[in-house]
Structure 1
Amino acid sequence: PAVTATSWLVADLDSGAVLGGCGPHEYGVPASVQKLLLAATMLPRLDPWQEVTVTAEDLAIEPGSSAVGLAEGGRYRIETIWLGLLLKSGNEAANALARLGGGAGGQAGGIRAMNEQARLLGALQTHAVTPSGLDGPGQFTSAYDLALIFRACFADPAFRRYTATRTAEIPGQPALREKPFQIQNDNQLLYRYPGALGGKTGFTDLARHTYVGAAERNGRRLVVTVLGAEIPTQRGWQQGAALLDWGFGLRRDVAVGRLVRPGELTAASAAPTGTVPPSALAGGAGLHGAPAGAATPWAGIGPLLGFGAVLVAGGTVLITRRRRHAVRTSSAMTGQGG
């Protein structure tokens, strides 16, 4: 399909087979699809029925960025905060969940746990600096890594329920004179794509539009990941839908690689080639401590990291990535990290 995304990947959620992609191991900026890594990390750690208090630290988010509307001093069940995160992309919800799951280290401890989880999943091109996906120096991911992360999320029944929820109610806070209110899921795939299972939207000025979504058709479940999309004609979810249609149209035995299993790769494994975007490194450390602005000296592609190695070894197909110039449009989503 004719999409504007600078990189993307389509894979089978169940088998892990990679059906195809464009620049799947190119470094990109995640925006709010970063919240999927937060979910993969914190869902097993936090009791959804526990009632917790939202703090001023949680509400310290970039002015104008996406928020669900949690109140300082408000008491909410963790399940409610998850719904605020995954339906409305609440950045204050992300801060709260990272803090709560970070133990004594607080939010910083939560971010460290996210990066540890990324390495466990084999997402070697992912590094989190913020729990919400708001831009930060040294924060990046790849289309391939996002597929690994979403697949880990989707293995959790609670995540499957949250991401498929269309509406939810945020309870009122009588002590704070806050009334209850309803939120709706921002992922339009749920409403407009038959068989949609869920996903996550994202946008910042730096990342542009990012998207991860999943759907089922004829007993087959696929995931699509999109980075760096512009929307002159199609929004991120629409580009994801077009790629899902393409994937469902392929034979079931078509595959150009596979997604690695959690724990399959070690820190010593070869990592994919690519260049960390200077915009992601500005003012911070590079991948695994590389100096700011330096190219990352990875040599070659590990045989398990995706279809690049398979295609090169076969010697019959060469996939290249053509960078598209970013085009600013007036139809950009309001706010950051949405």
Structure 2
Amino acid sequence: MLERGKQVVVPAGAGAPPAVSATSWLVADLDTGRVLGGCGPHQYGTPASVQKLLLAATMMPRLDPKQTVTVTDEDMNIEPGSSAVGLVAGGRYTIETIWLGLLLNSGNEAANALARLGSGTDRAADGVRAMNDEAHRLGALQTHAVTPSGLDGKGQFTSAYDLALIARACFAQPTFRRYALTEQAPIPAQPAQRTKGFLIQNENQLIYRYPGALGGKTGFTDLARHTYVGAAERGGRRLVVTLLGAESAPKRGWEQGVSLLDWGFTVPRDASVGRLVEPGELTATPSAAPALAAPGGPRPAAASGPAHSGSGWLWSVTVISGAGVLVLLGGLLWRRRRRLP
């Protein structure tokens, strides 16, 4: 199936997914790891603020949400005009407040603070290194963080498939799930800095407008365009959608996510075109490559399986059509991360 020149892979018998402007996307089951469909899932892209999910997956288990910490001048070093929640240098906040500032308002200063605080060295750069280590552990080998916030940096990239792995790790944490569904939160006054308290609102419209929403994260930079991760539950089934490189017309990023979630819930529960790898799986002992479908064999719309191939990870997808068999290599993910050209 082609969508505006892009190859879309879906299970046999599944309806056609909606057309979206995103250059790549993926829909998967959060619980089983089944991939229900995708378009360029291993295509390199720029994350923008959905990178904050990797920060959450890495640092949330390390930090005590009740601890009160001090924001530093270094934390406030963000690109002028970029997203900020309104923390102030010298201000005293709980870790939970900073997480809410990160996930509700996409605060870039909050990202700097959390990367620094969770680094173990009080250095945000070491926090970014920890994020990359966590991405590797999760199997997100097409992900490399340069900034904790997702502000553009040279050599920073991810993929729709990797974002699904990262989102799955986030939604496995009860604290993250609670934050992701929080509609508003107070940012306390800082008398010593002469700032008043105020309320922040969750910017992810999914939680207000989509029944069964579990939350997610929006992102945008001029380079990345619109990026989105969202999850929802329906009939005891939890799905996640990830998309990169979207334009806001005719639908905004979260609305494109909604369209793909609606489609995903129509796909049979046992159908898939592949699966999400488990944490640590790609650093385990290599296994044999799966057999690919051959002409005259079974006729699913797509069949895939993970395979180690010497120095890398190969996700193969076999698409059966009336014209015959087309073997698509979704992407070769090298253990040694490479930079974008």
Query: Is TM (by shorter chain) over 0.5?
Result: yes
Alignment of 1:31-50 (within 5 A): 31-50=48-67
**Which residue of structure 2 lines up, in the alignment, with residue 273 of structure 1?**
none
Q: Distance in 2 between matches of 1:132 and 1:104?
A: 19
Q: Distance in 1 between matches of 2:209 and 2:242?
A: 18
Is 2:234 aligned against 1:214? Answer: no
Q: Distance in 1 between matches of 2:184 and 2:269?
A: 34
**Which residue of structure 1 lines up, in the alignment, with residue 93 of structure 2?**
76
Give the greater-gyration-radius structure (CA): 2
Paired residue secondary structure (2:307): coil
Paired residue secondary structure (1:203): strand
Q: Which has the higher strand share?
A: 2
Report the TM-score, using the length of structure 1 for normalisation. Answer: 0.82
Paired residue secondary structure (1:265): helix
Report the AA paired with residue 72 of structure 2: T
**Which residue of structure 1 lines up, in the alignment, with residue 316 of structure 2?**
309
Query: Which runs of 5 or more structure 2 residues have no equivalent in the other structure?
Result: 1-17, 288-304, 331-341
Q: Distance in 1 between matches of 2:284 and 2:320?
A: 24
Q: Distance in 1 between matches of 2:282 and 2:313?
A: 12
Correspondence for 1:194 among 196, 208, 211? 211
Is 2:116 aligned against 1:102? Answer: no
Q: Distance in 2 between matches of 1:194 and 1:105?
A: 41
**Which residue of structure 2 lines up, in the alignment, with residue 249 of structure 1?**
266
Paired residue secondary structure (2:283): coil
Calculate the aligned-residue CA RMSD, in Å: 2.3
**Which residue of structure 2 lines up, in the alignment, with residue 287 of structure 1?**
none
Sequence identity percentage: 73
Conservation of the 8 A alpha-carbon contact between 2:26 and 2:41: yes
Paired residue secondary structure (1:104): coil
Correspondence for 1:62 among 64, 79, 98? 79
Q: Distance in 2 between matches of 1:201 and 1:30?
A: 10
Report the AA paired with residue 134 of structure 2: Q
Q: Distance in 2 between matches of 1:72 and 1:43?
A: 22
Conservation of the 8 A alpha-carbon contact between 2:317 and 2:328: no
Q: Distance in 1 between matches of 2:285 and 2:157?
A: 20
After TM superposition, the runs of 4+ consecutive aligned structure 1 residues lying more than 2 A away are: 267-270, 301-308, 310-321
Q: 1:175 to 1:182 in 2, by over 3 A?
A: same
Report the TM-score, using the length of structure 2 for normalisation. Answer: 0.81
Paired residue secondary structure (1:93): helix
Q: Deviation at 1:221?
A: 0.5
Q: Deviation at 1:312?
A: 6.3
Q: Deviation at 1:311?
A: 2.2
Correspondence for 1:176 among 156, 180, 193? 193
Q: Which has the higher helix share?
A: 1
**Which residue of structure 1 lines up, in the alignment, with residue 44 of structure 2?**
27
Q: Which has the higher contact order (CA 8 A, sep 6+)?
A: 1
Q: Distance in 2 between matches of 1:319 and 1:224?
A: 22
Alignment of 1:1-338 (within 5 A): 1-104=18-121, 106-266=123-283, 302-303=306-307, 308-311=315-318, 316=325
Q: Distance in 2 between matches of 1:15 and 1:183?
A: 34
